[in-house]
Structure 1
Amino acid sequence: MRAFIGIGMQTEIIEKIYEFQSMLREYTVEGKWTNKENFHITLKFLGEIQPEIVPQIEEAVKKATKGIKPFYLRFSEVGFFKGNKNIRVLWLGTEESKPLNVLHANIEDELYKIGFPKEERKFTSHITIARDIKLKIGIEEANKLFSQIEKKDIPVKEISLYESAVIEGKRKYIPVFTVPLK
Protein backbone atom coordinates (compact mmCIF):
# COMPACT_ATOMS: atom_id res chain seq x y z
CA MET A 1 0.00 0.00 0.00
CA ARG A 2 1.07 3.60 -0.64
CA ALA A 3 1.37 5.33 2.73
CA PHE A 4 2.39 8.42 4.67
CA ILE A 5 2.38 9.68 8.25
CA GLY A 6 0.42 12.87 8.75
CA ILE A 7 -1.71 15.21 10.79
CA GLY A 8 -5.40 15.22 9.95
CA MET A 9 -7.59 18.32 10.01
CA GLN A 10 -10.69 18.94 12.10
CA THR A 11 -13.93 19.86 10.31
CA GLU A 12 -13.76 23.53 11.33
CA ILE A 13 -10.26 23.87 9.84
CA ILE A 14 -11.24 21.94 6.70
CA GLU A 15 -14.13 24.34 6.07
CA LYS A 16 -11.85 27.41 6.36
CA ILE A 17 -9.32 25.91 3.94
CA TYR A 18 -12.13 24.99 1.55
CA GLU A 19 -13.51 28.54 1.78
CA PHE A 20 -10.15 29.89 0.62
CA GLN A 21 -9.81 27.22 -2.05
CA SER A 22 -13.25 28.20 -3.39
CA MET A 23 -12.25 31.89 -3.52
CA LEU A 24 -9.05 31.04 -5.37
CA ARG A 25 -10.85 28.97 -8.02
CA GLU A 26 -12.10 32.22 -9.56
CA TYR A 27 -8.48 33.22 -10.23
CA THR A 28 -7.37 29.93 -11.76
CA VAL A 29 -6.76 29.01 -15.40
CA GLU A 30 -6.34 25.28 -14.73
CA GLY A 31 -5.32 22.84 -12.03
CA LYS A 32 -6.30 19.92 -9.85
CA TRP A 33 -7.87 20.83 -6.52
CA THR A 34 -7.31 18.73 -3.41
CA ASN A 35 -10.56 17.18 -2.17
CA LYS A 36 -11.40 18.79 1.14
CA GLU A 37 -11.55 15.43 2.92
CA ASN A 38 -7.86 14.98 1.99
CA PHE A 39 -6.47 18.14 3.65
CA HIS A 40 -3.58 17.17 5.95
CA ILE A 41 0.03 17.91 6.87
CA THR A 42 2.46 15.20 5.79
CA LEU A 43 5.15 14.43 8.34
CA LYS A 44 6.76 11.56 6.41
CA PHE A 45 5.99 10.06 3.02
CA LEU A 46 6.69 6.33 3.12
CA GLY A 47 5.82 5.32 -0.44
CA GLU A 48 4.85 1.72 -1.15
CA ILE A 49 4.96 -0.44 1.98
CA GLN A 50 3.97 -4.00 2.79
CA PRO A 51 1.06 -4.34 5.26
CA GLU A 52 3.22 -6.66 7.40
CA ILE A 53 5.45 -3.71 8.38
CA VAL A 54 2.56 -1.62 9.78
CA PRO A 55 3.05 -2.86 13.40
CA GLN A 56 6.74 -1.81 13.25
CA ILE A 57 5.76 1.61 11.89
CA GLU A 58 3.15 2.00 14.64
CA GLU A 59 5.73 1.16 17.30
CA ALA A 60 8.19 3.67 15.76
CA VAL A 61 5.50 6.39 15.72
CA LYS A 62 4.63 5.68 19.37
CA LYS A 63 8.30 6.11 20.29
CA ALA A 64 8.52 9.31 18.20
CA THR A 65 5.52 10.87 19.98
CA LYS A 66 6.60 9.95 23.49
CA GLY A 67 6.75 13.09 25.64
CA ILE A 68 5.14 15.34 23.01
CA LYS A 69 2.01 17.00 24.31
CA PRO A 70 -0.84 18.24 22.07
CA PHE A 71 -0.07 21.62 20.52
CA TYR A 72 -1.44 24.13 18.01
CA LEU A 73 -0.20 25.30 14.64
CA ARG A 74 -0.95 28.68 13.08
CA PHE A 75 -1.41 29.33 9.40
CA SER A 76 1.27 31.53 7.86
CA GLU A 77 0.97 32.05 4.11
CA VAL A 78 0.14 30.72 0.68
CA GLY A 79 3.20 29.12 -0.87
CA PHE A 80 4.15 26.79 -3.68
CA PHE A 81 6.61 24.27 -5.05
CA LYS A 82 7.58 25.08 -8.63
CA GLY A 83 6.91 22.88 -11.62
CA ASN A 84 8.27 23.21 -15.15
CA LYS A 85 5.61 25.52 -16.57
CA ASN A 86 3.28 25.94 -13.64
CA ILE A 87 2.94 25.57 -9.89
CA ARG A 88 3.45 21.89 -9.10
CA VAL A 89 1.97 22.20 -5.59
CA LEU A 90 0.05 25.17 -4.14
CA TRP A 91 -0.12 25.07 -0.36
CA LEU A 92 -1.03 26.81 2.88
CA GLY A 93 1.94 26.94 5.21
CA THR A 94 2.10 26.98 8.98
CA GLU A 95 4.30 29.11 11.20
CA GLU A 96 7.52 27.66 12.60
CA SER A 97 6.71 25.38 15.54
CA LYS A 98 9.20 23.82 17.93
CA PRO A 99 6.87 20.93 18.92
CA LEU A 100 6.21 20.17 15.23
CA ASN A 101 9.91 20.26 14.38
CA VAL A 102 10.72 17.92 17.29
CA LEU A 103 7.90 15.57 16.25
CA HIS A 104 9.09 15.55 12.64
CA ALA A 105 12.72 14.91 13.64
CA ASN A 106 11.66 12.09 16.00
CA ILE A 107 9.60 10.43 13.27
CA GLU A 108 12.53 10.67 10.83
CA ASP A 109 14.87 9.13 13.43
CA GLU A 110 12.57 6.31 14.52
CA LEU A 111 11.59 5.33 10.98
CA TYR A 112 15.25 5.40 9.91
CA LYS A 113 15.89 2.76 12.58
CA ILE A 114 13.45 0.41 10.83
CA GLY A 115 14.79 0.99 7.34
CA PHE A 116 13.19 4.15 5.92
CA PRO A 117 15.66 6.65 4.45
CA LYS A 118 15.73 10.15 5.92
CA GLU A 119 14.28 12.96 3.84
CA GLU A 120 17.04 15.14 2.41
CA ARG A 121 14.89 18.18 1.72
CA LYS A 122 14.11 20.66 4.49
CA PHE A 123 10.76 19.98 6.14
CA THR A 124 8.12 22.54 5.11
CA SER A 125 4.91 22.21 7.10
CA HIS A 126 2.06 22.73 4.64
CA ILE A 127 -1.41 21.68 3.53
CA THR A 128 -1.64 21.02 -0.22
CA ILE A 129 -4.69 22.72 -1.74
CA ALA A 130 -3.94 22.26 -5.47
CA ARG A 131 -1.55 20.61 -7.93
CA ASP A 132 -0.38 21.50 -11.43
CA ILE A 133 -2.10 24.85 -11.20
CA LYS A 134 -1.93 28.02 -13.27
CA LEU A 135 -3.18 31.14 -11.56
CA LYS A 136 -4.34 34.41 -13.12
CA ILE A 137 -2.85 36.19 -10.10
CA GLY A 138 0.50 36.11 -8.32
CA ILE A 139 1.24 34.59 -4.93
CA GLU A 140 1.15 38.06 -3.32
CA GLU A 141 -2.45 38.50 -4.49
CA ALA A 142 -3.28 34.97 -3.34
CA ASN A 143 -1.93 35.88 0.10
CA LYS A 144 -4.13 39.01 0.14
CA LEU A 145 -7.14 36.78 -0.55
CA PHE A 146 -6.00 34.39 2.18
CA SER A 147 -5.78 37.30 4.65
CA GLN A 148 -9.55 37.77 4.22
CA ILE A 149 -10.27 34.32 5.67
CA GLU A 150 -10.77 34.01 9.42
CA LYS A 151 -8.06 31.62 10.53
CA LYS A 152 -8.36 29.13 13.34
CA ASP A 153 -5.37 27.53 15.01
CA ILE A 154 -4.85 23.91 13.98
CA PRO A 155 -4.98 21.56 16.97
CA VAL A 156 -2.46 18.72 16.79
CA LYS A 157 -3.68 16.03 19.16
CA GLU A 158 -2.73 12.90 17.20
CA ILE A 159 -0.90 11.64 14.15
CA SER A 160 -1.88 8.85 11.81
CA LEU A 161 -0.54 6.45 9.24
CA TYR A 162 -2.64 6.95 6.12
CA GLU A 163 -3.08 4.69 3.16
CA SER A 164 -3.36 6.63 -0.09
CA ALA A 165 -5.79 4.73 -2.30
CA VAL A 166 -7.87 5.41 -5.40
CA ILE A 167 -11.48 4.43 -4.73
CA GLU A 168 -14.14 4.89 -7.40
CA GLY A 169 -11.74 7.10 -9.36
CA LYS A 170 -10.96 9.44 -6.43
CA ARG A 171 -7.86 9.66 -4.26
CA LYS A 172 -8.71 8.92 -0.61
CA TYR A 173 -6.52 9.01 2.48
CA ILE A 174 -7.61 6.23 4.83
CA PRO A 175 -6.30 6.19 8.42
CA VAL A 176 -4.61 2.85 9.19
CA PHE A 177 -3.75 3.69 12.79
CA THR A 178 -3.73 6.81 14.97
CA VAL A 179 -1.41 7.65 17.85
CA PRO A 180 -2.59 10.30 20.34
CA LEU A 181 -0.21 12.90 21.73
CA LYS A 182 -0.18 12.81 25.55
Structure 2
Amino acid sequence: MGNQQNAHFFFALKLPSETKKKLNEHCEELKGKFPFSRWVHHDDYHITLAFLGSAPEDKLIAAAKLVADSIKNVKSFPLFINRLGVFGNESAPRIFWSDTEREERLHYLRDQVFSACKEAGFKLEKRPFKPHITIARKWIGSENFQKSMLDQYNPFKEKTIEFSASGVVLYRTHLDKTPKYESIAIFPLLVE
Protein backbone atom coordinates (compact mmCIF):
# COMPACT_ATOMS: atom_id res chain seq x y z
CA MET A 1 0.00 0.00 0.00
CA GLY A 2 3.03 2.22 -0.42
CA ASN A 3 5.01 4.43 1.92
CA GLN A 4 2.89 5.10 5.02
CA GLN A 5 5.15 7.68 6.65
CA ASN A 6 3.16 10.80 7.70
CA ALA A 7 0.13 9.60 5.74
CA HIS A 8 -3.35 9.32 7.22
CA PHE A 9 -5.93 6.75 6.14
CA PHE A 10 -9.69 6.45 6.38
CA PHE A 11 -12.58 4.38 5.08
CA ALA A 12 -15.38 6.32 3.41
CA LEU A 13 -18.51 5.88 1.38
CA LYS A 14 -17.66 6.43 -2.27
CA LEU A 15 -19.60 9.17 -4.04
CA PRO A 16 -20.18 8.67 -7.78
CA SER A 17 -18.35 11.18 -9.99
CA GLU A 18 -21.68 12.48 -11.38
CA THR A 19 -22.85 13.19 -7.81
CA LYS A 20 -19.58 15.01 -7.03
CA LYS A 21 -20.06 17.10 -10.17
CA LYS A 22 -23.65 18.08 -9.25
CA LEU A 23 -22.66 18.88 -5.67
CA ASN A 24 -19.75 20.99 -6.92
CA GLU A 25 -22.11 23.01 -9.14
CA HIS A 26 -24.13 23.88 -6.02
CA CYS A 27 -20.93 24.72 -4.12
CA GLU A 28 -19.86 27.13 -6.85
CA GLU A 29 -23.11 29.04 -6.22
CA LEU A 30 -22.74 28.80 -2.42
CA LYS A 31 -19.23 30.33 -2.47
CA GLY A 32 -20.71 33.78 -3.07
CA LYS A 33 -22.98 33.50 -0.02
CA PHE A 34 -20.76 31.61 2.44
CA PRO A 35 -17.24 33.06 2.94
CA PHE A 36 -15.19 30.02 3.98
CA SER A 37 -11.43 30.06 3.50
CA ARG A 38 -11.00 26.62 1.88
CA TRP A 39 -13.49 24.87 -0.36
CA VAL A 40 -13.00 21.12 -0.77
CA HIS A 41 -11.99 19.90 -4.23
CA HIS A 42 -14.96 18.00 -5.70
CA ASP A 43 -12.88 14.84 -6.21
CA ASP A 44 -12.41 14.74 -2.42
CA TYR A 45 -16.15 14.63 -1.52
CA HIS A 46 -16.98 11.55 0.57
CA ILE A 47 -18.76 10.39 3.75
CA THR A 48 -16.23 9.21 6.34
CA LEU A 49 -17.04 5.86 7.95
CA ALA A 50 -13.87 5.31 10.02
CA PHE A 51 -10.82 7.57 10.40
CA LEU A 52 -7.68 5.50 11.05
CA GLY A 53 -4.97 8.16 11.22
CA SER A 54 -1.44 6.99 10.48
CA ALA A 55 -1.10 3.22 10.21
CA PRO A 56 1.50 0.51 9.68
CA GLU A 57 0.95 -1.51 6.51
CA ASP A 58 0.15 -4.76 8.32
CA LYS A 59 -2.71 -3.13 10.26
CA LEU A 60 -4.03 -1.51 7.08
CA ILE A 61 -4.02 -4.86 5.28
CA ALA A 62 -5.79 -6.50 8.22
CA ALA A 63 -8.41 -3.74 8.31
CA ALA A 64 -8.97 -3.98 4.54
CA LYS A 65 -9.54 -7.75 4.76
CA LEU A 66 -11.89 -7.41 7.73
CA VAL A 67 -13.86 -4.59 6.09
CA ALA A 68 -14.17 -6.56 2.83
CA ASP A 69 -15.47 -9.57 4.75
CA SER A 70 -17.85 -7.55 6.95
CA ILE A 71 -19.60 -5.81 4.02
CA LYS A 72 -19.53 -8.60 1.41
CA ASN A 73 -23.31 -9.16 1.72
CA VAL A 74 -24.33 -5.48 2.00
CA LYS A 75 -26.47 -4.33 -0.92
CA SER A 76 -26.23 -0.98 -2.64
CA PHE A 77 -28.89 1.54 -1.51
CA PRO A 78 -30.07 5.03 -2.48
CA LEU A 79 -29.11 8.21 -0.64
CA PHE A 80 -30.42 11.77 -1.05
CA ILE A 81 -28.34 14.90 -0.36
CA ASN A 82 -30.90 17.26 1.13
CA ARG A 83 -29.47 19.92 3.44
CA LEU A 84 -26.55 22.03 4.67
CA GLY A 85 -24.99 22.24 8.11
CA VAL A 86 -21.95 23.34 10.10
CA PHE A 87 -19.69 22.07 12.89
CA GLY A 88 -17.85 24.25 15.37
CA ASN A 89 -18.48 27.69 16.79
CA GLU A 90 -21.94 28.89 15.75
CA SER A 91 -20.74 32.40 14.88
CA ALA A 92 -17.61 31.19 13.01
CA PRO A 93 -17.92 27.49 12.07
CA ARG A 94 -14.88 25.45 11.12
CA ILE A 95 -16.68 22.89 8.89
CA PHE A 96 -19.42 23.47 6.31
CA TRP A 97 -21.13 20.31 5.09
CA SER A 98 -24.00 18.82 3.14
CA ASP A 99 -25.97 15.91 4.51
CA THR A 100 -28.17 13.06 3.34
CA GLU A 101 -31.64 12.09 4.47
CA ARG A 102 -31.36 9.61 7.35
CA GLU A 103 -30.87 6.10 6.00
CA GLU A 104 -30.53 3.15 8.40
CA ARG A 105 -28.54 1.15 5.85
CA LEU A 106 -25.82 3.83 5.90
CA HIS A 107 -25.61 3.54 9.70
CA TYR A 108 -25.44 -0.26 9.42
CA LEU A 109 -22.65 -0.01 6.81
CA ARG A 110 -20.73 2.39 9.05
CA ASP A 111 -21.13 0.02 12.03
CA GLN A 112 -19.72 -2.87 9.97
CA VAL A 113 -16.71 -0.84 8.78
CA PHE A 114 -16.12 0.68 12.23
CA SER A 115 -16.22 -2.72 13.99
CA ALA A 116 -13.86 -4.25 11.41
CA CYS A 117 -11.33 -1.43 11.98
CA LYS A 118 -11.53 -1.85 15.75
CA GLU A 119 -10.99 -5.60 15.33
CA ALA A 120 -7.87 -4.80 13.28
CA GLY A 121 -6.53 -2.91 16.32
CA PHE A 122 -7.36 0.71 15.45
CA LYS A 123 -8.35 3.15 18.20
CA LEU A 124 -11.24 5.10 16.67
CA GLU A 125 -12.97 8.28 17.81
CA LYS A 126 -15.98 7.72 20.00
CA ARG A 127 -18.21 10.57 18.80
CA PRO A 128 -21.61 9.46 17.48
CA PHE A 129 -21.74 8.93 13.73
CA LYS A 130 -22.97 12.07 11.95
CA PRO A 131 -22.82 11.32 8.22
CA HIS A 132 -21.82 14.38 6.19
CA ILE A 133 -19.89 15.53 3.14
CA THR A 134 -17.44 18.29 4.05
CA ILE A 135 -17.64 21.02 1.38
CA ALA A 136 -15.67 23.89 2.98
CA ARG A 137 -13.59 24.83 6.03
CA LYS A 138 -13.02 27.87 8.27
CA TRP A 139 -15.50 30.74 8.25
CA ILE A 140 -13.80 34.04 7.32
CA GLY A 141 -16.84 36.29 6.96
CA SER A 142 -16.66 39.85 8.29
CA GLU A 143 -20.09 39.23 9.86
CA ASN A 144 -20.92 36.38 12.23
CA PHE A 145 -22.30 33.24 10.63
CA GLN A 146 -26.10 33.06 10.88
CA LYS A 147 -27.65 29.58 11.15
CA SER A 148 -30.73 30.83 9.26
CA MET A 149 -28.51 31.05 6.15
CA LEU A 150 -28.39 27.26 5.98
CA ASP A 151 -32.09 27.03 5.20
CA GLN A 152 -32.27 30.30 3.30
CA TYR A 153 -29.61 29.27 0.76
CA ASN A 154 -30.18 25.50 0.79
CA PRO A 155 -29.93 24.47 -2.89
CA PHE A 156 -31.47 21.06 -2.12
CA LYS A 157 -34.85 22.45 -0.96
CA GLU A 158 -36.22 22.27 -4.49
CA LYS A 159 -34.49 19.06 -5.53
CA THR A 160 -32.31 16.62 -3.63
CA ILE A 161 -29.30 14.96 -5.26
CA GLU A 162 -30.00 11.23 -5.41
CA PHE A 163 -27.17 8.73 -5.72
CA SER A 164 -26.49 5.09 -5.07
CA ALA A 165 -24.25 4.00 -2.20
CA SER A 166 -22.22 1.54 -4.24
CA GLY A 167 -18.97 1.01 -2.36
CA VAL A 168 -16.53 1.75 0.41
CA VAL A 169 -13.10 3.21 -0.31
CA LEU A 170 -9.89 3.13 1.69
CA TYR A 171 -8.33 6.57 1.17
CA ARG A 172 -4.83 7.84 1.82
CA THR A 173 -4.37 11.57 2.55
CA HIS A 174 -1.78 13.68 0.72
CA LEU A 175 -1.82 17.07 2.49
CA ASP A 176 0.49 18.60 -0.12
CA LYS A 177 -1.71 17.76 -3.14
CA THR A 178 -5.07 18.78 -4.62
CA PRO A 179 -7.19 16.69 -4.69
CA LYS A 180 -5.69 15.32 -1.51
CA TYR A 181 -7.35 11.91 -1.13
CA GLU A 182 -6.01 8.91 -3.04
CA SER A 183 -8.17 5.79 -3.36
CA ILE A 184 -5.99 2.80 -2.51
CA ALA A 185 -8.69 0.09 -2.26
CA ILE A 186 -12.37 -0.12 -3.22
CA PHE A 187 -14.90 -2.52 -1.71
CA PRO A 188 -18.05 -2.62 -3.86
CA LEU A 189 -21.51 -3.23 -2.44
CA LEU A 190 -23.77 -5.82 -4.03
CA VAL A 191 -25.91 -4.60 -6.91
CA GLU A 192 -29.37 -6.16 -7.20
Segments of 4+ moved more than 4 angstroms: none
RMSD: 2.1
Kept after mapping to 2: 8 A contact 1:20/1:149? no
Other structure's SS at 1:123 match: coil
Other structure's SS at 2:171 match: strand
TM-score by length of 2: 0.85
1:164 aligns with 2:170: no
- Render the CA deviation track for 1:62-81: whole Å, top value 9, x for unaligned: 12213210111111310111
Matches within 5 A, 1:5-24: 5-24=11-30
Kept after mapping to 2: 8 A contact 1:24/1:142? no
- Equivalence for 1:59: 65
TM-score by length of 1: 0.89
Q: Of Structure 1 and Structure 2, which has the larger fraction of its residues in helix? A: 1
In structure 1, what residue type is equivalent to 2:47?
I
- Equivalence for 1:119: 125
- Equivalence for 2:186: 178
Kept after mapping to 2: 8 A contact 1:13/1:152? yes
Kept after mapping to 1: 8 A contact 2:169/2:184? yes
Cα deviation for residue 100 of structure 1 reads 0.7
CA distance in 1, matches of 2:30, 2:116: 38
1:70 aligns with 2:79: no
- Render the CA deviation track for 1:111-134: whole Å, top value 9, x for unaligned: 111111243111011100001124
Which blocks of at least 5 consecutive residues in structure 2 are unaligned? 1-6
Aligned length: 181
Which blocks of at least 5 consecutive residues in structure 1 are unaligned? none
Kept after mapping to 1: 8 A contact 2:82/2:100? yes
CA distance in 2, matches of 1:163, 1:13: 21
Matches within 5 A, 1:9-158: 9-83=15-89, 86-135=92-141, 138-145=146-153, 146-147=155-156, 150-158=159-167
CA distance in 2, matches of 1:181, 1:105: 15
CA distance in 2, matches of 1:114, 1:48: 14
Other structure's SS at 1:87 match: coil
Cα deviation for residue 92 of structure 1 reads 0.2
- Render the CA deviation track for 1:121-154: whole Å, top value 9, x for unaligned: 1101110000112456633333332236643212
Other structure's SS at 1:153 match: strand
Q: Of Structure 1 and Structure 2, which has the larger fraction of its residues in strand? A: 1
- Share of identical aligned residues, percent? 24
Kept after mapping to 2: 8 A contact 1:18/1:36? yes
CA distance in 1, matches of 2:72, 2:36: 43
Other structure's SS at 2:52 match: strand
Kept after mapping to 2: 8 A contact 1:78/1:139? no
In structure 1, what residue type is equivalent to 2:37?
G
